[in-house]
């Protein structure tokens, strides 16, 4: 039986749910009330929507010093990375490092800039080091003529197409030369050497197995034989989106960017995609995934990359998604305990007649920087949303 997927609430609903667990709003200062009201009013709107055109995004990055050897396996090594949209800072002084053969799950609350980061990589604003082929699955394949999903996949490999065309032309040229007797021995030697080289290049990219691979990918994503050969114009937007995903998997780029790849997939197709991304054909591809499907992350990701909404940094994590969620919950509990102890100590000092400013100074001297209330509220909101988003998706069970 397919597990039920719980709907993900809007950001405003999540904030409202957290606020109910906090002190009465009457105890909040005016600035805190305004901050919560602004967050509620924005609801589920994403900062990413401002950055649909990358011209609106300011990017500052320091490339890695010196030459990056292809043997290092680094696909992206962007240091001191800062990204802002309008007046909103998404990243500041972050370090983005992606390696060949690794599969990264990019985690973060809605609107923190995950999709913007993906588009910056796809658009070349954040440069790659040792790969030139970057593919992002962001929109469906257009259905403007009678081209089929299968035909589009096979034609999308332009390298294979160019090599096959040259091989065919050379073979025809050699057939003509056999009857015309216009070639010298050196000509034949040169042409034969080129024909052999073409055969080696085609063999290296498994060109003659391309049609079988295209069928395999389309079948895995749920296309029937009839749908594979049907014109794309007859397919719905969801199926054309699957076709775009199939094309990216078929081409196996050096860097593959997947933004919510399971949105248009049923459970069997999702399970197949997770299996294919971890299979031998994809072993040399670096994959960056944005998804809220915790089961998919658990099945696919080798590394987690957390886009911290408040610190504006990227934090790598090598453990599983389950350990990360547990650590996140523990961090929230520590913050709550720390804030409660801090407030109790301040209250005790004030009860002894100490002025508020002196009480604050004494606490800072003894315990370091105080945790402001609005920061505490935001941390609680932050943790609640994480726990809700990443634990209310279906799990991958057969």
Question: pLDDT of 24-37, one tens digit each?
Answer: 444 445 544 554 45
pLDDT band at 45 (very low <50, low <70, confident <90, very high): very low
pLDDT tens, residue by residue, 135-164: 888 656 665 567 888 888 888 887 888 888
pLDDT computed for residue 371 by the predictor: 61
pTM value? 0.70
pLDDT computed for residue 396 by the predictor: 46
pLDDT tens, residue by residue, 288-316: 999 888 889 999 999 999 998 778 889 89
- For residue 351, the tally of other CB atoms under 10 A from its CB is 9
pLDDT computed for residue 20 by the predictor: 33
Residue with tokens 């407030």: 343
pLDDT band at 64 (very low <50, low <70, confident <90, very high): low
pLDDT computed for residue 386 by the predictor: 61
pLDDT band at 370 (very low <50, low <70, confident <90, very high): low
| Separation between Cα atoms, residue 298 and residue 167, nearest integer Å | 44
Mean pLDDT of the chain: 76
pLDDT above 90 covers a percentage of the chain that reads 17
Residue with tokens 């949303």: 385
Measured CA to CA in angstroms, residue 386 lies from 260, 267, 268, 381 at distances of 16, 23, 26, 9
Residue 60 in tokens: 């500052």
Q: Are 262 and 273 in contact (CB under 8 A)?
A: yes
Q: Are 247 and 151 in contact (CB under 8 A)?
A: no
Sign of the dihedral defined by the CA atoms of residues 176, 182, 188, 190, in that order = negative
Task: Please determine, for residue 225, whether its predicted confidence score (pLDDT) is greater than 70.
Answer: yes
Residue with tokens 């296309």: 223
pLDDT computed for residue 372 by the predictor: 60
pLDDT band at 381 (very low <50, low <70, confident <90, very high): low
pLDDT computed for residue 18 by the predictor: 38
Task: Please determine, for residue 61, whether its predicted confidence score (pLDDT) is greater than 80.
Answer: no
Highest averaged pLDDT of the listed ranges 80-89, 252-261, 365-374: 252-261
Lowest-confidence region among 97-111, 191-205, 366-380:
366-380
Q: Phi-psi region for residue 195, left (φ > 0), alpha (ψ -120 to 50) or beta?
A: alpha
Residues 6 or more apart whose CB falls under 8 angstroms from that of 120 comprise 54, 57, 59, 83, 126
Residue range 319-335: mean pLDDT, rounded: 80
pLDDT computed for residue 373 by the predictor: 57
Residue with tokens 């990589």: 121
pLDDT band at 123 (very low <50, low <70, confident <90, very high): confident
Residue range 211-225: mean pLDDT, rounded: 91
């Amino acid at each position: 039986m397919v597990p039920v997927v719980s709907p993900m609430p809007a950001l405003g609903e999540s904030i409202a749910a957290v606020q109910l667990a906090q002190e009465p709003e009457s105890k909040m200062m005016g600035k805190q009330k305004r901050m919560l009201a602004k967050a509620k009013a924005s609801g589920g709107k994403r900062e990413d929507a401002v950055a649909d055109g990358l011209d609106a995004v300011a990017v500052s990055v320091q490339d890695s010093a010196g030459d990056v050897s292809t043997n290092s396996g680094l696909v992206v090594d962007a240091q001191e990375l800062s990204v802002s949209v309008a007046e909103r800072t998404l990243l500041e002084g972050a370090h983005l490092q992606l390696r060949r053969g690794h599969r990264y799950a990019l985690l973060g609350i809605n609107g923190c800039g995950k999709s913007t980061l993906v588009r910056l990589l796809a658009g070349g604003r954040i440069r790659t080091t040792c790969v030139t082929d970057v593919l992002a699955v962001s929109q469906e394949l257009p259905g403007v003529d009678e081209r089929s999903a299968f035909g589009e996949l096979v034609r999308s490999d332009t390298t294979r197409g160019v090599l096959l065309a040259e091989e065919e032309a050379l073979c025809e040229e050699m057939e003509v030369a056999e009857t015309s007797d216009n070639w010298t021995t050196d000509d034949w030697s040169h042409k034969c050497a080129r024909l052999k080289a073409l055969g080696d290049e085609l063999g290296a990219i498994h060109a003659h197995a391309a049609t079988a691979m295209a069928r395999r990918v389309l079948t895995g994503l749920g296309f029937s034989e009839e749908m594979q050969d049907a014109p794309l114009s007859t397919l719905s937007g969801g199926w054309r989106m699957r076709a775009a995903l199939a094309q990216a998997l078929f081409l196996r780029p050096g860097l593959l960017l997947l933004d919510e790849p399971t949105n248009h997939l049923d459970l069997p197709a999702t399970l197949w995609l997770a299996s294919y991304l971890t299979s031998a054909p994809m072993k040399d591809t670096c994959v960056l995934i944005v998804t809220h499907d915790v089961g998919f992350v658990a099945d696919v990701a080798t590394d987690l990359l957390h886009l911290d909404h408040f610190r504006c940094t990227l934090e790598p994590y090598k453990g599983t998604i389950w350990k990360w969620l547990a650590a996140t919950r523990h961090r929230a509990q520590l913050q709550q305990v720390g804030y409660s102890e801090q407030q109790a100590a301040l209250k005790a000092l004030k009860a002894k007649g100490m002025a508020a400013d002196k009480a604050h100074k004494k606490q800072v001297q003894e315990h370091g920087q105080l945790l402001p209330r609005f920061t505490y509220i935001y941390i609680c909101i932050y943790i609640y949303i994480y726990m809700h988003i990443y634990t209310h998706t279906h799990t991958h069970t057969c």
